[in-house]
Amino acid sequence: MLNYRHVFHAGSFVDVHKHITLRILLRSLLKKDSAFCYFDTHAGAGSYDLQSEYAQKNREYENGIYRVAAAENPPEEVIDYLDEVNAVNHKKVRERGEYRYYPGSPLIARQLLRKQDRMLLTELHNTESLLLRKMFNKDKQVNVLQGDAFVSLKANLPPKERRGLILIDPPYEVKAEFQSLAMSLIKAWQKWPTGIFAVWYPLQKSQPVPQFHYELRAAGVRKVFIHEFYVLPDSQSNRMAGSGMLIINPPWQFDERITGVLNWLVPVLDQAGGSGPRCEWIVPE
Ligand SMILES: C[S@@+](CC[C@H](N)C(=O)[O-])C[C@H]1O[C@@H](n2cnc3c(N)ncnc32)[C@H](O)[C@@H]1O
């Protein structure tokens, strides 16, 4: 049963956090000529219409991409991300300080692939995977698989390129999501200990984030860096108050770069007394 549709949340503060991180990580892979594979395990629909009735329901983009686009003196990493969002929107719409479309992680990544690189997308939802297939129909560098993320992760690692990034971005609708995530992530890392893994997770009172971190440490996973922040006080168990990301094998100086970005970004996204950022190695280099 899949109730989650990402269009309700497109362009939210979470997307901003995740997609800026994605761009920084992918750009680091461009520093070498050798091919890499970008693997998006929960790919979504690829692109979202912010004027659709779904996106209009909660207008989450107003507390996300709209705030970032209106803020002054963004760091270069944020400019790079904004360039990509601008690229899928008409100039006239942008000039009104608005956006019609918001690119999902597959589109954000596709723009950075060179001809030697490849992208693998897994999506379980029928409608979303059909949209993805349509979007990348004639694109030989993109492979869309409809199916379960964790089955796909097991089947497709390590990639033949032996270089690359895996984005794991589950909806956390199912209670046991963190447990299956930890198990699959540990197995994936054991199959490919040098890959870059980027996992997004919600910060919410009821979610077992410390347990998730503990399980990775206990399994012996190395080089684990987290960055998190809150946009609201973490006082209610039924409300997501912040956004977290865990990176295994981050590239050189990623820790410093993301800390600088979040020092700028967190005040821009703050809604009502959030806190952070918290940026730290939970298992050192
Ligand atoms: C948070 S959204 C992804 C957003 C996308 N990564 C982005 O940043 O644009 C999560 C997606 O995971 C899909 N999904 C849920 N359970 C899944 C599973 N077991 N395997 C693969 N995809 C799944 C949902 O249909 C949804 O589209």
Q: Which residues, in sequence order, are bridge partners of residue 197?
A: 166, 248
Q: Is residue 249 part of a domain?
A: yes
Task: Name the residue of 19, 110, 124, 131 whose CB sits within 8 Å of the most ligand 1 atoms, as the mutation to test its pocket.
Answer: 124
pLDDT averaged over 10-residue windows placed end to end, the chain, 285 residues: 86 98 98 98 97 95 96 97 94 84 97 98 96 96 97 96 97 89 97 98 92 97 98 86 97 98 97 91 92
Q: Is residue 109 part of a domain?
A: yes
Task: Give me the domain span that covers residue 104.
Answer: 6-283
Q: Is residue 124 part of a domain?
A: yes
Q: Is residue 246 part of a domain?
A: yes
The pLDDT value recorded for residue 94 is 79
Q: From the alpha carbon of 125, which atom of ligand 1 is closest? A: 25
pTM of this prediction exceeds 0.95: yes
Q: Is residue 1 part of a domain?
A: no
Q: Are 18 and 76 in contact (CB under 8 A)?
A: no
Which protein residue has the closest C-alpha to ligand 1 atom 6?
A: 43
Work out how many domains the chain is built from and give that number: 1
In the chain, the DSSP E strands lie at 37-40, 47-49, 101-103, 118-123, 142-146, 164-168, 196-203, 224-230, 242-248, 278-283
Structural Rg of the chain based on CA atoms: 18
Q: Is residue 57 part of a domain?
A: yes
What distance in angstroms lies between residue 73's CA and the mean position of ligand 1's atoms?
32
What distance in angstroms lies between residue 125's CA and the mean position of ligand 1's atoms?
8
The pLDDT value recorded for residue 87 is 93
Q: Are 77 and 20 in contact (CB under 8 A)?
A: yes
Which protein residue has the closest C-alpha to ligand 1 atom 13?
A: 42
Report the CATH number that the domain containing residue 66 is assigned in CATH. Answer: 3.40.50.150
Which residues does a 6 A CB cutoff place in the pocket of ligand 1? 2, 4, 6, 18, 40, 42-44, 104-105, 122-125, 128, 148-149, 169, 171
The pLDDT value recorded for residue 1 is 57
Residues in the chain: 285
CA count, 13 A, side-chain hemisphere, 5: 15
Please identify every residue annotated as catalytic: 169
Q: From the alpha carbon of 10, which atom of ligand 1 is closest? A: 9
Phi-psi region of 152 (alpha: psi -120 to 50; beta: other; left: phi over 0): alpha
Q: Is residue 251 part of a domain?
A: yes
Q: Is residue 141 part of a domain?
A: yes
